[in-house]
Amino acid sequence: MDAIDVYYHPLFLKHETGEHPENKQRLVVAVQTLEGSALDLDWVTPEPAVSADVERVHTPEYVETVRRVAAQGGGWLDWDTAISPDSYDAALLAAGAGIMAVDRGVEDGALAFMLVRPPGHHARPSQGMGFCLFNNIAVAAAHAVDVLGLERVLIVDWDVHHGNGTNDAFYDDPRVLFFSIHEGNHYPGTGLASEVGSGDGAGFTINVPLRAGGGDGAILASFESLFLPVARSFKPQLILVSAGYDGQRGDPLGELRYSETAFQWMAARLRSLALEVGGAGPLPFLEGGYVPSMMATSIVATLRGVLGEQPDFETTVLDSERQDVQRAVEAVRPYWKDAL
C-alpha cells in the first residue's frame, strides 16, 4: 500500500474560534482517528506560504488586513469568520501545505491530504468569509499554473456549500477547470448552473446545485454523465479537491444526504482519472464537516479512495437528482459538445 502525506501542524489548533462550528476539536478528533487507522501515513510539517504566494489569489490589502487584525489581538471579518492572534500564521501554514503538496505531487507523484484550518474555499480575492481566511486550494492551483507552468488543473469541490472564492479566482481562466456539486439555495447563495465562466474561461466552471435532500444518487449521476466525461476531455495534469464533509447525512450545516462511502467512491474515481490521463493527485484539502467523529471517519474513507480502493457504490438516482444534474449538463454542453 502506498503512503499518503498528511500535512498538519499544531498551530492549526491555535486558530481560536470559540463556540463555533469550525473549531479546533475537528482536527483533534481527525488526528486521533487517522493515527488509529491502518493507513500508511507520513505526517508532514508544512512550511508557511509567503505573501507573494497568497497574493496570486488575494489582494495585498486584504492579506495585510488579516495580518493586522491578528497582530492586534484578533476580531471578526464578518459575523461568522473569526481571527485570533495566531490565525494569520496558521492561515499561511495552511496555504503553504497545499503548495508543498503540489510541488511533491507534480514532481514525484506523491499523494497527500491537507489536514488544515482555517479552511479556504469561500475566501475571495479581497474578502474572507464563511470561516475562511486564505483560499488554500486556490493558492495551490495558482502556484501550479503560474510557477510550475501547468496548463490544465482540475479542482473538484464536494463541500455542501458552494466554493464561491475558488469559483471567482478562476472564473475567466481556462487553465483551471472548477467543478462544484453543492446544496443550492444555501450559503453563500452562489453556484447556479448558469455560472459557467466568462471570457476565455467560459465553460471551465461547472456548478451542480442540488435541492435539499439530494444524496449519493446525485453524486453518481453528476460524475457519470457530466464530470468524468468533461474531465477526460480536459486531461488534467493535476487534480485538487476541496474535501468538505458537511454534505454527509446528519451534519448540522447542510441538508444533503451523502454517505461515507460516497467520499471514498469519488476519491477513487478521481485517482483512476489521474492514472488514466497521466496527471498528479488527487490532493484533497479539508474544508467543512462539523460532526468531528463523522468527519474523521469520512477522511479515512477518502484516503482509502485516494489509494485506489474502489468501494461498492450501489445507489438509486432519484428523479429530482437526475433533473438537477441535467440542468448543469445543459448549461455547459455548448462548451463540451464532444464530451457531452
6-18: average pLDDT: 97
Give dist(CA 67, CA 65) in Å, integer.
Answer: 5
Other beta carbons less than 10 A from residue 273's beta carbon = 23
Strand ranges inside the chain, DSSP E: 4-7, 41-44, 75-78, 81-83, 112-114, 153-157, 176-183, 205-210, 238-243, 280-286
Q: What is the mean pLDDT of residues 108-119?
A: 98
Q: Looking at domain 4-335, which CATH architecture does it have?
A: 3-Layer(aba) Sandwich (3.40)
Residue appearing with cell numbers 461568522 = 80
Whether the pLDDT of residue 276 is over 70: the answer is: yes
Provide the pLDDT for residue 2. Answer: 80
Mean pLDDT of 231-245: 98
| Burial (CB count within 10 angstroms: exposed 0-12, middle 13-18, buried 19+), residue 199 | exposed
Amino acid at 62: Y
Active site annotation includes 161:
no
Q: Please compute the mean of the pLDDT values over residues 222-249 and round it to a whole number.
A: 98
CA distances from 236 to 11, 152, 156, 267, 271 (A): 33, 5, 12, 15, 12
* H or E segment to which residue 6 belongs: strand 4-7
Summarize the confidence of residues 104-120 as an average pLDDT. 98
pLDDT tens, residue by residue, 285-307: 999 999 999 999 999 999 999 99
C-alpha pair distances (Å), 265 with each of 216, 300, 314, 326: 10, 12, 11, 21
CB contact at 8 A, 27 and 12: yes
Answer yes or no: is pLDDT of 121 > 60.
yes
Catalytic residue among 9, 15, 58, 122: 122
* Cell numbers describing residue 160: 455542501
Residue 285 pairs in a beta bridge with 114, 242
CB atoms within 10 A of CB 173: 20
| Mean pLDDT in residue range 8-28 | 96
Q: What is the pLDDT of residue 200?
A: 98
Residue 332, CA distances (Å) to 129, 162, 226, 268, 325 in order = 28, 17, 9, 25, 11
Across residues 319-339, what is the average pLDDT?
98
| d(C-alpha 10, C-alpha 14), whole Å | 7
339 CB burial (10 A radius; 0-12, 13-18, 19+): middle
Residues 6+ apart with CB under 8 A from 16: 24, 74, 82, 84, 85, 86, 87
What gap in Å lies between CA 180 and CA 114, rounded to an integer? 19
The predicted-structure confidence for 151-179, as pLDDT tens digits, reads as follows: 999 999 999 999 999 999 999 999 999 99
> Could you tell me the pLDDT band of residue 110, with boundaries at 50, 70 and 90?
very high
3-state secondary structure of 168: helix
Query: At residue 85, does pLDDT exceed 70?
Result: yes
Query: Which pLDDT value is given to residue 12?
Result: 98
Residue ranges covered by each domain of the chain: 4-335
pLDDT at res. 278: 97
